[in-house]
Amino acid sequence: MKTFHNPHHAGHAGQQEMFRGRMVPCHEVPARLDFVLAELERRPLGPLAPPTVDDSDLGAAIARVHDPRYLAFLATAWDQWVAMDAANAQRDALPSVWPLANRHGFRNDVLPRNFAARLGLFSFDSGSPLTAGTWAAARGGAACALAAARALANGDRSAFALSRPPGHHAGPDFLGGYCFLNNAAIAAQALREAGHGKVAVLDVDYHHGNGTQTIFYERADVFTASIHGDPATEYPFFLGHADERGAGAGLGFNLNLPLPRGSGVKVWRAALDTALQAVRDFGASALVVPLGLDTFEGDPISGFTLKTGDYAAVGAALASAGLPTVFTFEGGYAVDEVGTNAVNLLEGFQKAA
């Protein structure tokens, strides 16, 4: 399995996020990726390289998944932030005001003139700081996803897009949950365009992949499934319920498997079997796995209890789908263990594939 890693990831290093009523150091830190890289160097699964995709291809692949108005905002957001006040160059941009989208009077067609309002319009939480290096890092992550999809198109059976910030919470026109560009969706769309008629996304991060779900919600060609903490009590709260099954042409092509906080490996593995059966029934010819390791018992912000020794079997179960597979790196905040857990899963996949 080739790994494409993002050389620009460390340029995205938020200082603080809003967490339970106070500002705390960001959970989503550059060291997360460094631990995975270090473990891949100890236990190689294949070549490690930065992605090589040209700029116009990359721009086109991103624009297949995200709205032009959102991309125009994101590409210049940092400059807009600093233009408001030169002192902002030392501070992360965090939103502090949001429109209530479902209330009377919300005008999605009007781009606010104030940057703070624009940042609110395009985001859904106060935990996702936008920094000087965010756009370059997010774009580098999209390049990893595109390179991984292309590796499959060239005959590889699997590929790993190792990047941060993560992507599965980013929607067509919104950021949040530490995510800015949806790497998994970009990979899935690239696989569609490489000739796969049906692509499945099976999200194993602790948190519901609300961005990915939203991107493909009305489509029948990309089946999205997610196993996650029940949004009744867990982030991102407003999406991820079992009765969200897709809409329009996409009805029946979204599967949410919410599990109670505190769930252990037995319950989680049963949900994985359900999701894998649904992927088989759908008839996908390629699979994208948004790979979060925050299902781990030691994760500081999550509530499942999987152990380091469980992940190899999870990888083997994913391999049982028998599909060419792209993995994108998502959550996992027990930084010291995230590399071991990730490589355990990927190695388990590769040995069984």
Binding site for ligand OKP (CB under 6 A): 17-19, 125-127, 166, 169, 177-178, 205, 207, 235, 292, 294, 301, 330-331
Q: Which is nearer to ligand OKP, 54 or 336 (CB)?
A: 336
CB proximity list for 247: less than 8 A, separation 6 or greater:
217, 218
Cβ burial, residue 281 (10 Å; 0-12/13-18/19+):
exposed
Whose CA is closest to 183, among 169, 167, 160, 199?
167
Determine if residue 332 is left, alpha or beta; phi over 0 gives left, psi from -120 to 50 gives alpha, anything else beta. left
Only segment of 9-17, 198-206, 304-312, 342-350 that touches Zn ion (CB under 5 A): 198-206
Query: 104 an active-site residue?
Result: no
CB of 207 to ligand OKP, least distance (A): 3
Minimum distance of ligand OKP from residue 127's CB (angstroms): 3
Taking CB under 5 A as the rule, does residue 310 contact Zn ion? no
The answer to whether 108 touches 120, Cβ cutoff 8 Å, is: no
92, 205, 244, 299: which one binds Zn ion (CB under 5 A)? 205
Query: In the complex, what is the shortest distance from the CB of residue 315 to ligand OKP, in angstroms, rounded to a whole number?
Result: 19
Among 17, 125, 234, 294, which residue interacts with Zn ion (rule: CB under 5 A)? Answer: 294
In the block, tokens 């030169």 appear at 86
Task: Residue 19: name its binding partner from ligand OKP, Zn ion, none (Cβ under 5 to 8 Å by kind).
Answer: ligand OKP
User: Which member of 8, 66, 169, 207 is catalytic?
Assistant: 169
Burial (0-12, 13-18, 19+ Cβ within 10 Å), 305: middle
Six token digits for residue 244: 């969200």
Q: Is omega for the bond preceding 236 within 30 degrees of 0, making it cis?
A: yes
CB of 155 to ligand OKP, least distance (A): 31
Name the site residues for Zn ion (rule: CB under 5 A): 205-207, 292, 294, 331
Active site residues: 169
